[in-house]
Structure 1
């Protein structure tokens, strides 16, 4: 561990990335996969994971050229201060919107499953206050919390999915390649954008103790989440079919209602699973809030970023209240990924790599 609260190990980076990739996207991923590629949606998820690895390799290639600087520090050297401000604005906008709609999505889930009589505003504000508190404690504090949360989140969910296997009807998944190659590849592209949290590596790599040894933990984190997502889609499709999955708002949560755990000790086992899942959203939203403050600090060259967290509260809170329903949240989330995801994951890193080679700056 480190005495300063802004350094993490590469193992902690892997854990944080896994939670960031898991978060809200795993809730909506089976539905997205079914909508784009039908029963072959799980193939799109697997292929989308490969695309995500490519995104990560591109970003890591750029990060390795400037291992001790964040995106906005070396962008100023490569492209000037004005371009840096524009990129920072795009990045902050992406993170604020993702945090707001992710928070609203989980608040809707909590209200529907656990707190039916509680106003949505109260749920959002309560979660947001906890997130902001942890974000103020620094990166290492986030990493320590993540190392605990990751086991609490994944082990129960994986166990439930394993218990669901006997009830899966694999005829709803097989045969494969029923959908057209175009649909499968388009689905893979859409799914790959759900891994958009990879773009946080543009800022996170310099905070690790070994910036140039992050490739293996990063890729392994993506692969593990990819395997989990494929498994999740197969189970979901096998239980509800691709059409049934498309028609459900919370297909993953409905698995928890369908599957009967041994012993049947709990009347509301879905509520228990949601409680575990909620922990992951704290990690995701916390990451967005923390990196917004980091970006602001780096761009304006401030000494501290902790005090920048609190002003985000009313902004995220108000934006989270904009969608009228869950369907709108889905649409807004997809639009954010579509319009900003590929730019931050591919176009921006490639452009900066090109500029670094032309100007002959950065490490080889």
Structure 2
């Protein structure tokens, strides 16, 4: 039997803070650090961890002086006008943090899974589920995290191992090229994203008095666990993308998940499965700041929190509770909408640097100077009853278009004919998948042509009777004439990077002309895209070459550090032959070489 006494163990404290730290730091920070400090971002992460450790020591000393939790000390020890003013500042900070977290959460969902849904609808659903979740006790939240901890971080470890195989050591460097001030600036940025440490001041109300030191030790362990995960993530991201490409990415961890290519096809949307880690952690972060914003706002108004008779016993409803919760939800919604429509991530970074962090640093010192430490417990109400339900609800990979209104290209081919760009998709016959009638499943369109790639793509997709869903794309085939046209080839890669049309783990190969490949499709046992994928994988060892994907090609166009070789396919006697490779030398096409 579980007790219901608003008390949690130090192990549960550790896992609560791990979830609060991991989400935003691993999702957003790598791209920011790569832009600021490149490979020296590794030192910035360690510096940020050190700064956070000092801050935790400072909070522990403040907690010892308070001899209790933050809100109880403030209300009992400070003048009414001062605690009212500081409460308002705390509420504003919590709403900004919750709003930014909700913005990132909804934005990741929209870009990764449900791109056709309206951002506002996604945001509203997230906030409504969060509102429902924070009505339960902290014990429920802690128990859920105990269950989720290994279920989420063991798969993450496995993905790290898989992604480590693709680390390119050419990208690991140079080091010590940025100034000390730049690294210090990056370290401060890491510290900004680890400021949920401040919430430890609320935890004396939830832990036994004699276990306070163990609680601080648990938070310290959670901090360095998160720093270690961030370090490993940053090394893998650098090795996969390079610092230049990494610096252009908004959510590189999500892109990394989509870059992993598992053989056999038993997991079709691995990225959708793996970003559940960030769904849970971002949901936890939004929930915890909403909870404290509502809790503090509730305590600003006199009355019912001190009543001994519960609302259930009275048979009524705590309208003040629902009113304060509704108020913080509306404000959080407005902040998240403001971040999204104004693209104000830079504003959030500036706020944390110049207002948020100084406030969190000097705030404990201020209240200790003004008041005396006296112990007072506060009543805690609800947090995160249904994290499992919420995370599972978000794991949907389909947008607004119904399945029967979609077609699923397995291959894309782009080429050039004189001055025109040519484009087409290769589709599977659905009878191969589910025994449906071929006439019903048929998707056909003439080759799309245009003065540039976007125009050719648009003209082709206009002819389709169904919306193209490219999440299962196997191969991108590029004609040699297009590759040798530097302007159009650069335009193609830039457009694919910006629009994220195709999965990054899509194989890339080159050919004389895609028409020759399409000519044999009717004689194949499967669609052309799946056939080429299997053909490349079966001959990879024989050709002594590692198959490269679209993500690597896009990154190298920016990094310009490697010589890459992609399969060059030709036709002989109505069969596909791989006898040469096409070379991309430091981001520039360099022609064919014969495989010896």
* TM-score for both structures, normalised by structure 2: 0.56
Cα contact 2:35–2:248 (8 A) shared by 1: no
Hey, what does 2:295 align to over in structure 1? 294
* Greater helix fraction, Structure 1 or Structure 2: 1
More strand by share: 2
Q: Which moved more, 1:139-148 or 1:44-53?
A: 139-148
> Does 1:343 pair with 2:342?
no
Question: Hey, what does 2:332 align to over in structure 1?
Answer: 316
Matched, 1:199 2:201: no
- TM-superposed CA distance for 1:130, in Å, is 1.3
Q: State the match for 2:250 in structure 1.
A: 249
| CA distance in structure 1 between the partners assigned to 2:369 and 2:172 by the alignment | 43
Per-residue CA deviations over 1:300-346 (Å, capped at 9, x if unaligned) read: 45517854323322222222211345x82422331332234323432
Counterparts of 2:247 and 2:74, CA distance in 1 = 42
Separation in structure 1 between the aligned mates of residue 348 and residue 156 of structure 2, nearest angstrom: 24
1:261/1:353 CA distance change after superposition, 3 Å: farther
Larger Rg: 2
Task: Map residues 1-364 of structure 1 onto 2, 5 A cutoff.
Answer: 3-4=3-4, 6-68=6-68, 70-209=69-208, 210-261=211-262, 263-300=264-301, 302-303=304-305, 307=322, 308-325=324-341, 328-355=343-370, 361=373
Aligned-residue offset at 1:73: 2.6
- Give the Å deviation of 1:280: 1.5
User: SS state of the match for residue 267, structure 1?
Assistant: coil
Cα deviation for residue 53 of structure 1 reads 1.1
Indicate the larger mover: 232-241 or 255-264: 255-264
Deviations 1:168-215 (A, max 9, x none): 123323343221111111110111111011111122232223334312
Distance in structure 2 (CA, Å) of the matches to 1:198 and 1:161: 26
Q: Which runs of 5+ in 2 are unaligned?
A: 307-319, 376-596
Residue deviations 1:83-126 (CA, integer Å, cap 9, x gap): 21222111111111111121121111111211122111221111
Offset at residue 222 of structure 1 (A): 0.2
Deviation larger for 228-237 or 80-89: 80-89
Moved over 6 A (4+): none
- Cα separation, partners in 2 of 1:42 and 1:262, compared to 1, 3 Å: farther
* 2:204 partner SS: helix
Residues 273-309 of structure 1: per-residue CA shift (max 9 Å, x gap): 1233212122111111111122224444551785432
Q: CA RMSD in A?
A: 2.3
8 Å CA contact 2:18, 2:222 repeated in 1: yes
SS at match of 1:167: coil
Deviates more, 1:82-91 or 1:297-306: 297-306
- Say which SS state the counterpart of residue 62 (structure 2) adopts: helix
Q: C-alpha distance in 2, partners of 1:136/1:93?
A: 21
Rounded Cα–Cα distance in structure 2 between residues aligned with 1:58 and 1:295: 23
Aligned to 2:483: none
Q: How many residues align?
A: 358
8 Å Cα contact 1:94-1:336 kept in structure 2: no
Q: Do the aligned partners of residues 66 and 3 (structure 1) sit closer, same or farther apart at CA in structure 2, a change above 3 Å counting? A: farther
Q: Give distance in 1, aligned partners of 2:203 and 2:300.
A: 15
Cα offset, 1:25, TM superposition: 2.8
Answer whether contact 1:153 1:280 (CA < 8 A) is retained: no
- Secondary structure in 1 aligned to 2:117? coil
Change (3 A) 1:329 1:141: farther
Contact 1:23 1:284 in 2 (8 A): yes
CA distances 1:108-167 after superposition (whole Å, capped 9, x unpaired): 111121112211122111111111111011221221222223223322222212211121
Q: Which has the higher contact order (CA 8 A, sep 6+)?
A: 1
SS of aligned partner of 2:354? helix
SS of structure 2 residue aligned to 1:3? coil
Q: In the TM superposition, what is the alpha-carbon distance from 1:354 to its structure 2 partner? A: 4.5
Structure 1 length normalisation: TM-score?
0.90
